[in-house]
Chain A
Protein backbone atom coordinates (compact mmCIF):
# COMPACT_ATOMS: atom_id res chain seq x y z
CA UNK A 1 0.00 0.00 0.00
CA UNK A 2 1.35 3.40 -0.93
CA UNK A 3 2.19 5.99 1.71
CA UNK A 4 -0.42 8.31 0.21
CA UNK A 5 -3.24 5.79 0.74
CA UNK A 6 -1.96 4.76 4.17
CA UNK A 7 -1.99 8.37 5.35
CA UNK A 8 -5.45 8.88 3.86
CA UNK A 9 -6.84 5.93 5.82
CA UNK A 10 -5.19 7.15 9.02
CA UNK A 11 -6.71 10.62 8.81
CA UNK A 12 -9.98 10.58 6.85
CA UNK A 13 -11.64 13.97 7.22
CA UNK A 14 -15.35 13.60 6.68
CA UNK A 15 -17.75 15.98 5.02
CA UNK A 16 -21.38 15.55 5.68
CA UNK A 17 -23.80 16.09 2.82
CA UNK A 18 -27.55 15.86 3.14
CA UNK A 19 -29.52 15.33 -0.07
CA UNK A 20 -32.94 15.87 1.41
CA UNK A 21 -32.86 13.59 4.43
CA UNK A 22 -35.18 13.80 7.42
CA UNK A 23 -32.15 14.85 9.56
CA UNK A 24 -32.19 11.63 11.57
CA UNK A 25 -29.06 10.25 9.90
CA UNK A 26 -27.38 13.67 10.24
CA UNK A 27 -27.96 13.71 13.98
CA UNK A 28 -26.60 10.17 14.26
CA UNK A 29 -23.46 11.25 12.35
CA UNK A 30 -22.92 14.06 14.84
CA UNK A 31 -23.29 11.50 17.64
CA UNK A 32 -20.09 9.85 16.40
CA UNK A 33 -18.16 12.97 17.46
CA UNK A 34 -19.47 12.95 21.03
CA UNK A 35 -17.40 11.68 24.00
CA UNK A 36 -19.16 8.30 23.90
CA UNK A 37 -17.84 7.35 20.46
CA UNK A 38 -15.15 10.01 19.74
CA UNK A 39 -14.04 9.23 16.17
CA UNK A 40 -11.13 11.68 16.54
CA UNK A 41 -9.34 8.70 18.11
CA UNK A 42 -9.00 7.41 14.53
CA UNK A 43 -7.97 10.80 13.16
CA UNK A 44 -11.38 11.59 11.72
CA UNK A 45 -12.47 15.22 11.78
CA UNK A 46 -15.69 16.79 10.60
CA UNK A 47 -14.72 19.51 8.10
CA UNK A 48 -16.86 22.41 7.05
CA UNK A 49 -15.44 22.87 3.57
CA UNK A 50 -15.76 20.31 0.77
CA UNK A 51 -12.20 21.15 -0.37
CA UNK A 52 -10.76 19.74 2.87
CA UNK A 53 -12.75 16.48 2.76
CA UNK A 54 -11.54 12.93 2.08
CA UNK A 55 -14.73 11.04 2.83
CA UNK A 56 -18.17 12.18 1.71
CA UNK A 57 -20.96 11.03 4.02
CA UNK A 58 -24.13 11.24 1.94
CA UNK A 59 -27.54 11.02 3.60
CA UNK A 60 -31.04 11.44 2.21
CA UNK A 61 -33.07 10.33 -0.77
CA UNK A 62 -31.28 12.29 -3.57
CA UNK A 63 -34.25 14.32 -4.77
CA UNK A 64 -34.29 16.15 -8.07
CA UNK A 65 -33.21 19.49 -6.61
CA UNK A 66 -30.24 18.16 -4.67
CA UNK A 67 -28.91 15.81 -7.38
CA UNK A 68 -27.43 18.79 -9.24
CA UNK A 69 -25.71 20.05 -6.08
CA UNK A 70 -24.52 16.53 -5.27
CA UNK A 71 -22.83 16.22 -8.68
CA UNK A 72 -21.27 19.67 -8.33
CA UNK A 73 -19.92 18.87 -4.88
CA UNK A 74 -18.60 15.47 -5.97
CA UNK A 75 -16.56 17.19 -8.69
CA UNK A 76 -15.08 19.58 -6.11
CA UNK A 77 -13.74 16.94 -3.70
CA UNK A 78 -9.94 16.68 -4.06
CA UNK A 79 -9.20 13.14 -5.25
CA UNK A 80 -8.56 10.48 -3.96
CA UNK A 81 -11.83 10.52 -2.07
CA UNK A 82 -14.25 7.91 -0.69
CA UNK A 83 -18.06 7.98 -0.71
CA UNK A 84 -20.17 6.51 2.10
CA UNK A 85 -23.94 6.13 1.65
CA UNK A 86 -25.60 6.45 5.05
CA UNK A 87 -29.17 5.35 5.71
CA UNK A 88 -31.73 3.34 3.80
CA UNK A 89 -32.74 6.37 1.68
CA UNK A 90 -29.37 6.64 -0.07
CA UNK A 91 -29.10 2.88 -0.58
CA UNK A 92 -32.52 2.01 -1.95
CA UNK A 93 -34.67 5.17 -1.52
CA UNK A 94 -36.48 3.43 1.37
CA UNK A 95 -39.85 4.98 2.05
CA UNK A 96 -39.61 7.21 -1.01
CA UNK A 97 -39.22 4.44 -3.60
CA UNK A 98 -42.50 5.38 -5.32
CA UNK A 99 -41.99 9.13 -5.07
CA UNK A 100 -42.03 11.25 -8.24
CA UNK A 101 -39.19 13.30 -6.72
CA UNK A 102 -36.59 10.57 -6.12
CA UNK A 103 -35.66 9.22 -9.56
CA UNK A 104 -32.64 7.02 -8.73
CA UNK A 105 -30.67 5.80 -5.68
CA UNK A 106 -27.29 7.36 -4.90
CA UNK A 107 -25.12 4.73 -6.60
CA UNK A 108 -26.69 5.53 -9.98
CA UNK A 109 -25.34 9.12 -9.62
CA UNK A 110 -21.86 8.82 -8.09
CA UNK A 111 -19.69 5.76 -7.26
CA UNK A 112 -20.33 4.55 -3.71
CA UNK A 113 -17.66 2.73 -1.68
CA UNK A 114 -19.68 1.48 1.27
CA UNK A 115 -23.38 1.34 2.25
CA UNK A 116 -24.55 1.69 5.84
CA UNK A 117 -28.24 0.71 6.00
CA UNK A 118 -30.60 1.66 8.81
CA UNK A 119 -33.27 4.24 9.42
CA UNK A 120 -31.26 5.85 10.93
CA UNK A 121 -28.14 3.65 11.38
CA UNK A 122 -26.69 3.65 14.89
CA UNK A 123 -23.33 5.34 15.47
CA UNK A 124 -21.91 1.86 16.16
CA UNK A 125 -23.12 0.76 12.72
CA UNK A 126 -21.47 3.79 11.13
CA UNK A 127 -18.15 3.11 12.85
CA UNK A 128 -18.38 -0.56 11.79
CA UNK A 129 -19.06 0.59 8.21
CA UNK A 130 -16.06 2.91 8.21
CA UNK A 131 -13.86 0.11 9.57
CA UNK A 132 -15.05 -2.12 6.71
CA UNK A 133 -14.32 0.67 4.25
CA UNK A 134 -10.77 1.05 5.61
CA UNK A 135 -10.23 -2.73 5.40
CA UNK A 136 -11.57 -2.80 1.84
CA UNK A 137 -9.44 0.08 0.57
CA UNK A 138 -6.38 -0.94 2.60
CA UNK A 139 -6.59 -4.58 1.49
CA UNK A 140 -6.79 -3.92 -2.25
Chain B
Protein backbone atom coordinates (compact mmCIF):
# COMPACT_ATOMS: atom_id res chain seq x y z
CA UNK B 1 0.00 0.00 0.00
CA UNK B 2 2.86 2.35 0.86
CA UNK B 3 4.34 1.76 -2.60
CA UNK B 4 1.05 2.72 -4.26
CA UNK B 5 0.85 5.89 -2.18
CA UNK B 6 4.46 6.78 -3.03
CA UNK B 7 4.32 6.06 -6.76
CA UNK B 8 0.75 6.92 -7.73
CA UNK B 9 0.08 9.90 -5.45
CA UNK B 10 3.52 10.98 -4.29
CA UNK B 11 5.08 10.92 -7.73
CA UNK B 12 2.64 10.73 -10.65
CA UNK B 13 -0.25 12.83 -9.37
CA UNK B 14 2.08 15.44 -7.91
CA UNK B 15 4.25 15.55 -11.04
CA UNK B 16 1.27 15.99 -13.38
CA UNK B 17 -0.37 18.62 -11.17
CA UNK B 18 2.99 20.34 -10.66
CA UNK B 19 3.64 20.55 -14.40
CA UNK B 20 0.12 21.88 -14.99
CA UNK B 21 0.75 24.46 -12.26
CA UNK B 22 3.98 25.50 -13.91
CA UNK B 23 2.02 26.02 -17.14
CA UNK B 24 -0.45 28.23 -15.20
CA UNK B 25 2.54 30.14 -13.85
CA UNK B 26 4.08 30.66 -17.29
CA UNK B 27 0.76 31.54 -18.90
CA UNK B 28 -0.12 34.10 -16.21
CA UNK B 29 3.39 35.56 -16.54
CA UNK B 30 2.89 35.86 -20.30
CA UNK B 31 -0.52 37.51 -19.90
CA UNK B 32 0.89 39.99 -17.37
CA UNK B 33 3.49 40.94 -19.99
CA UNK B 34 0.85 41.15 -22.80
CA UNK B 35 2.21 38.02 -24.47
CA UNK B 36 0.39 34.88 -25.57
CA UNK B 37 2.42 32.35 -23.62
CA UNK B 38 3.32 28.69 -24.11
CA UNK B 39 0.90 25.91 -25.12
CA UNK B 40 -0.63 23.68 -22.44
CA UNK B 41 1.69 20.71 -22.94
CA UNK B 42 4.87 22.81 -22.93
CA UNK B 43 6.18 21.80 -19.43
CA UNK B 44 5.70 18.11 -20.30
CA UNK B 45 7.53 18.55 -23.62
CA UNK B 46 10.38 20.35 -21.85
CA UNK B 47 10.86 17.43 -19.46
CA UNK B 48 10.73 14.84 -22.27
CA UNK B 49 13.24 16.87 -24.30
CA UNK B 50 15.66 17.19 -21.38
CA UNK B 51 15.45 13.43 -20.72
CA UNK B 52 16.67 12.83 -24.28
CA UNK B 53 19.68 15.13 -24.10
CA UNK B 54 23.28 14.38 -23.24
CA UNK B 55 24.49 14.84 -19.64
CA UNK B 56 27.70 16.84 -19.53
CA UNK B 57 29.69 16.32 -16.33
CA UNK B 58 32.17 19.16 -15.80
CA UNK B 59 35.84 18.27 -15.32
CA UNK B 60 36.13 19.75 -11.83
CA UNK B 61 32.93 18.17 -10.51
CA UNK B 62 32.46 15.27 -8.12
CA UNK B 63 30.63 12.79 -10.36
CA UNK B 64 28.64 10.82 -7.76
CA UNK B 65 27.49 13.84 -5.75
CA UNK B 66 26.76 15.82 -8.92
CA UNK B 67 24.42 13.11 -10.23
CA UNK B 68 22.80 12.10 -6.92
CA UNK B 69 21.87 15.64 -5.76
CA UNK B 70 18.80 15.95 -8.06
CA UNK B 71 17.54 12.52 -6.94
CA UNK B 72 17.88 13.56 -3.29
CA UNK B 73 15.75 16.64 -3.89
CA UNK B 74 13.14 14.66 -5.85
CA UNK B 75 12.97 12.05 -3.07
CA UNK B 76 12.34 14.81 -0.52
CA UNK B 77 9.46 16.29 -2.54
CA UNK B 78 7.92 12.84 -3.14
CA UNK B 79 8.02 12.12 0.62
CA UNK B 80 6.34 15.44 1.49
CA UNK B 81 3.62 15.08 -1.13
CA UNK B 82 2.91 11.47 -0.10
CA UNK B 83 2.38 12.50 3.54
CA UNK B 84 0.07 15.32 2.42
CA UNK B 85 -1.99 13.15 0.02
CA UNK B 86 -2.31 10.34 2.57
CA UNK B 87 -3.51 12.75 5.25
CA UNK B 88 -5.87 14.47 2.86
CA UNK B 89 -7.68 11.52 1.31
CA UNK B 90 -6.97 8.41 3.42
CA UNK B 91 -6.70 9.83 6.97
CA UNK B 92 -3.60 7.78 7.65
CA UNK B 93 -1.29 10.33 9.25
CA UNK B 94 0.94 9.76 12.24
CA UNK B 95 1.69 11.83 15.35
CA UNK B 96 4.05 14.69 14.55
CA UNK B 97 3.85 14.52 10.74
CA UNK B 98 3.69 18.34 10.72
CA UNK B 99 7.29 18.37 12.03
CA UNK B 100 8.39 15.78 9.45
CA UNK B 101 6.95 17.91 6.64
CA UNK B 102 8.68 21.06 7.87
CA UNK B 103 11.96 19.11 7.92
CA UNK B 104 11.45 17.47 4.53
CA UNK B 105 10.58 20.78 2.87
CA UNK B 106 14.18 21.92 3.37
CA UNK B 107 15.51 18.87 1.49
CA UNK B 108 15.01 20.43 -2.01
CA UNK B 109 16.95 23.52 -0.92
CA UNK B 110 19.61 21.27 0.57
CA UNK B 111 19.89 19.31 -2.69
CA UNK B 112 20.36 22.58 -4.61
CA UNK B 113 23.13 23.62 -2.21
CA UNK B 114 24.88 20.25 -2.63
CA UNK B 115 24.41 20.42 -6.41
CA UNK B 116 25.99 23.86 -6.60
CA UNK B 117 29.02 22.95 -4.55
CA UNK B 118 29.50 19.66 -6.42
CA UNK B 119 29.50 21.43 -9.81
CA UNK B 120 32.92 22.96 -9.39
CA UNK B 121 31.78 26.21 -10.97
CA UNK B 122 32.30 29.59 -9.27
CA UNK B 123 28.82 30.83 -10.25
CA UNK B 124 27.23 27.65 -8.88
CA UNK B 125 29.14 27.99 -5.59
CA UNK B 126 27.98 31.59 -5.33
CA UNK B 127 24.39 30.47 -5.93
CA UNK B 128 24.71 27.74 -3.31
CA UNK B 129 26.04 30.09 -0.65
CA UNK B 130 23.19 32.50 -1.39
CA UNK B 131 20.67 29.67 -1.18
CA UNK B 132 22.12 28.74 2.22
CA UNK B 133 21.68 32.29 3.52
CA UNK B 134 18.15 32.43 2.12
CA UNK B 135 17.18 29.14 3.85
CA UNK B 136 18.49 30.53 7.16
CA UNK B 137 16.52 33.72 6.53
CA UNK B 138 13.08 32.32 5.68
CA UNK B 139 12.91 29.25 7.93
CA UNK B 140 12.19 31.18 11.16
CA UNK B 141 9.13 33.16 9.92
CA UNK B 142 7.94 30.12 7.89
CA UNK B 143 7.90 27.84 10.95
CA UNK B 144 6.26 30.55 13.09
CA UNK B 145 3.52 31.02 10.48
CA UNK B 146 2.99 27.26 10.18
CA UNK B 147 2.66 27.12 13.98
CA UNK B 148 -0.57 29.15 13.92
CA UNK B 149 -2.83 26.27 12.70
CA UNK B 150 -1.14 23.91 15.16
CA UNK B 151 -2.03 26.23 18.05
CA UNK B 152 -5.54 26.68 16.69
CA UNK B 153 -6.15 22.96 16.37
CA UNK B 154 -4.31 21.91 19.57
CA UNK B 155 -2.83 19.11 17.50
CA UNK B 156 0.52 18.53 15.81
CA UNK B 157 -0.98 15.99 13.40
CA UNK B 158 -2.04 17.14 9.91
CA UNK B 159 -5.15 15.01 10.36
CA UNK B 160 -5.96 16.87 13.60
CA UNK B 161 -5.52 20.22 11.86
CA UNK B 162 -7.91 19.10 9.09
CA UNK B 163 -10.49 17.86 11.64
CA UNK B 164 -10.35 21.14 13.58
CA UNK B 165 -11.23 23.03 10.37
CA UNK B 166 -14.48 21.19 9.64
CA UNK B 167 -16.30 23.86 11.68
CA UNK B 168 -14.36 26.94 10.53
CA UNK B 169 -11.21 27.45 8.50
CA UNK B 170 -8.17 29.16 10.05
CA UNK B 171 -7.98 31.62 7.14
CA UNK B 172 -11.04 33.29 8.65
CA UNK B 173 -9.29 34.46 11.84
CA UNK B 174 -6.99 37.48 12.22
CA UNK B 175 -4.01 35.31 13.19
CA UNK B 176 -4.70 33.09 10.17
CA UNK B 177 -4.69 36.04 7.75
CA UNK B 178 -1.40 37.37 9.14
CA UNK B 179 0.13 33.88 8.99
CA UNK B 180 -0.98 33.42 5.35
CA UNK B 181 0.67 36.69 4.32
CA UNK B 182 3.95 35.57 5.90
CA UNK B 183 3.60 32.03 4.54
CA UNK B 184 3.04 33.15 0.94
CA UNK B 185 6.13 35.36 1.01
CA UNK B 186 8.16 32.49 2.51
CA UNK B 187 6.82 30.15 -0.19
CA UNK B 188 8.03 32.69 -2.73
CA UNK B 189 11.54 32.37 -1.27
CA UNK B 190 11.28 28.57 -1.00
CA UNK B 191 10.42 28.34 -4.70
CA UNK B 192 13.20 30.85 -5.51
CA UNK B 193 10.84 33.14 -7.41
CA UNK B 194 11.35 36.86 -7.93
CA UNK B 195 11.81 38.95 -5.66
CA UNK B 196 13.69 36.20 -3.79
CA UNK B 197 15.31 34.44 -6.76
CA UNK B 198 18.68 35.58 -5.45
CA UNK B 199 20.26 32.09 -5.56
CA UNK B 200 19.24 31.59 -9.21
CA UNK B 201 19.40 35.16 -10.55
CA UNK B 202 19.45 34.26 -14.22
CA UNK B 203 20.71 37.62 -15.43
CA UNK B 204 23.39 37.80 -12.76
CA UNK B 205 24.80 34.34 -11.94
CA UNK B 206 23.12 32.33 -14.76
CA UNK B 207 20.74 30.00 -12.83
CA UNK B 208 23.16 29.64 -9.88
CA UNK B 209 23.44 26.02 -8.69
CA UNK B 210 21.92 24.68 -11.92
CA UNK B 211 24.45 26.33 -14.25
CA UNK B 212 26.38 23.10 -14.99
CA UNK B 213 23.37 20.77 -15.17
CA UNK B 214 22.14 19.38 -18.47
CA UNK B 215 20.02 16.54 -19.81
CA UNK B 216 18.23 14.12 -17.44
CA UNK B 217 19.79 15.65 -14.30
CA UNK B 218 18.36 19.05 -15.21
CA UNK B 219 15.02 17.38 -16.04
CA UNK B 220 14.89 15.92 -12.51
CA UNK B 221 15.67 19.33 -11.02
CA UNK B 222 12.96 21.01 -13.09
CA UNK B 223 10.49 18.30 -12.13
CA UNK B 224 11.43 18.80 -8.48
CA UNK B 225 10.83 22.54 -8.70
CA UNK B 226 7.52 22.09 -10.51
CA UNK B 227 6.37 19.51 -7.96
CA UNK B 228 7.32 21.92 -5.18
CA UNK B 229 5.17 24.52 -6.93
CA UNK B 230 2.22 22.18 -6.36
CA UNK B 231 3.20 20.86 -2.91
CA UNK B 232 3.62 24.22 -1.16
CA UNK B 233 0.20 25.70 -2.13
CA UNK B 234 -1.32 22.28 -1.29
CA UNK B 235 0.30 22.45 2.18
CA UNK B 236 -1.07 25.97 2.70
CA UNK B 237 -4.56 24.84 1.64
CA UNK B 238 -4.41 21.98 4.15
CA UNK B 239 -3.21 24.19 6.99
CA UNK B 240 -5.33 27.30 6.42
CA UNK B 241 -8.26 26.43 4.12
CA UNK B 242 -9.35 23.10 5.56
CA UNK B 243 -7.81 20.95 2.85
CA UNK B 244 -9.09 19.89 -0.56
CA UNK B 245 -12.76 18.92 -0.52
CA UNK B 246 -13.96 17.24 -3.68
CA UNK B 247 -17.70 16.86 -3.02
CA UNK B 248 -20.17 19.04 -4.92
CA UNK B 249 -19.67 22.80 -4.85
CA UNK B 250 -16.61 22.41 -2.58
CA UNK B 251 -14.64 21.13 -5.58
CA UNK B 252 -15.04 24.54 -7.21
CA UNK B 253 -13.86 26.27 -4.00
CA UNK B 254 -10.82 23.99 -3.79
CA UNK B 255 -9.82 24.72 -7.38
CA UNK B 256 -10.38 28.45 -6.86
CA UNK B 257 -8.31 28.50 -3.66
CA UNK B 258 -5.50 26.60 -5.33
CA UNK B 259 -5.42 28.66 -8.53
CA UNK B 260 -5.79 31.81 -6.42
CA UNK B 261 -2.72 31.03 -4.31
CA UNK B 262 -0.70 30.16 -7.43
CA UNK B 263 -1.87 33.34 -9.18
CA UNK B 264 -0.91 35.49 -6.15
CA UNK B 265 2.56 33.92 -6.14
CA UNK B 266 2.90 34.53 -9.90
CA UNK B 267 1.70 38.12 -9.73
CA UNK B 268 4.12 38.90 -6.87
CA UNK B 269 6.81 37.35 -9.05
CA UNK B 270 5.95 39.49 -12.05
CA UNK B 271 5.57 42.85 -10.36
CA UNK B 272 8.74 42.98 -8.26
CA UNK B 273 12.45 43.45 -8.89
CA UNK B 274 15.03 41.10 -7.40
CA UNK B 275 16.31 42.15 -3.96
CA UNK B 276 19.87 41.69 -2.67
CA UNK B 277 20.62 38.84 -0.25
CA UNK B 278 21.22 41.21 2.69
CA UNK B 279 17.89 42.93 1.98
CA UNK B 280 16.16 39.54 1.88
CA UNK B 281 17.66 38.44 5.21
CA UNK B 282 16.69 41.76 6.81
CA UNK B 283 13.18 41.48 5.39
CA UNK B 284 12.60 37.96 6.74
CA UNK B 285 14.24 38.46 10.13
CA UNK B 286 12.67 41.88 10.62
CA UNK B 287 9.07 42.58 9.51
CA UNK B 288 8.18 39.00 8.54
CA UNK B 289 9.28 37.44 11.86
CA UNK B 290 7.51 40.25 13.70
CA UNK B 291 4.22 39.66 11.85
CA UNK B 292 4.52 35.90 12.34
CA UNK B 293 5.20 36.37 16.08
CA UNK B 294 2.14 38.64 16.38
CA UNK B 295 0.09 35.97 14.59
CA UNK B 296 1.32 33.31 17.03
CA UNK B 297 0.48 35.51 20.05
CA UNK B 298 -3.01 36.21 18.64
CA UNK B 299 -3.51 32.49 18.01
CA UNK B 300 -2.51 31.69 21.61
CA UNK B 301 -5.21 34.12 22.74
CA UNK B 302 -7.75 32.37 20.54
CA UNK B 303 -8.18 35.13 17.93
Contacts and interface: CB of A to CB of B under 8 A. Distances in A.
Interface of A: 3-4, 7-8, 10-11, 35, 38, 40-41, 43, 47-49, 51-52, 54, 76, 78-80
B202 to A, nearest CB: 5
A41 B33 CA distance: 13
A78 B33 CA distance: 31
Contacts of A7: 45, 48-49, 52
Contacts of A47: 207
Interface residues of B, number: 30
A51 B213 contact: yes
B56 A51 contact: yes
A43 B203 CA distance: 20
Contact of B52 (A4, A40, A43, A52): A4
Interface string B198-214: 00001100110011111
B286 to A, nearest CB: 31
A54 to B, nearest CB: 7
Given A11-B42, A35-B34, 11 more contacts: A8-B53, A35-B35, A38-B30, A40-B30, A41-B35, A41-B38, A48-B206, A48-B211, A51-B213, A52-B214, A79-B54
A8 B54 contact: no
Q: DSSP majority for the B interface?
A: loop
Interface in B13-51: 26, 30, 33-39, 42, 45-46, 48-49
B206 A43 contact: no
27 contacts: A3-B52, A7-B48, A8-B52, A10-B45, A11-B46, A40-B36, A40-B37, A40-B38, A41-B36, A41-B37, A41-B38, A47-B207, A48-B203, A48-B206, A49-B210, A49-B212, A51-B212, A52-B214, A52-B218, A76-B56, A78-B53, A78-B54, A78-B55, A78-B214, A78-B215, A79-B54, A80-B54
Given A4-B52, A7-B52, A79-B54, A52 B207 contact: yes
A11 to B, nearest CB: 5
A48 to B, nearest CB: 4
Contacts of A4: 49, 52
The winner among A35, A51, A79 for most chain B CB atoms within 10 A is A51
Contacts of B35: 35, 38, 40-41
Contacts of A48: 202-203, 206-207, 211
Nearest to A80: B53
Contacts of B207: 47-49, 52
A11 B56 contact: no
Closest 4 CB pairs of A and B: A4-B52, A48-B206, A7-B49, A51-B214
Interface string B72-84: 0000000000000
Contacts of A35: 33-35
Given A48-B207, A51-B56, A43 B202 contact: no
Contacts of A78: 53-56, 214-215
Contacts of A52: 207, 210, 213-214, 218
Nearest to A33: B35
Interface string B111-154: 00000000000000000000000000000000000000000000
B56 A8 contact: no
A33 to B, nearest CB: 9
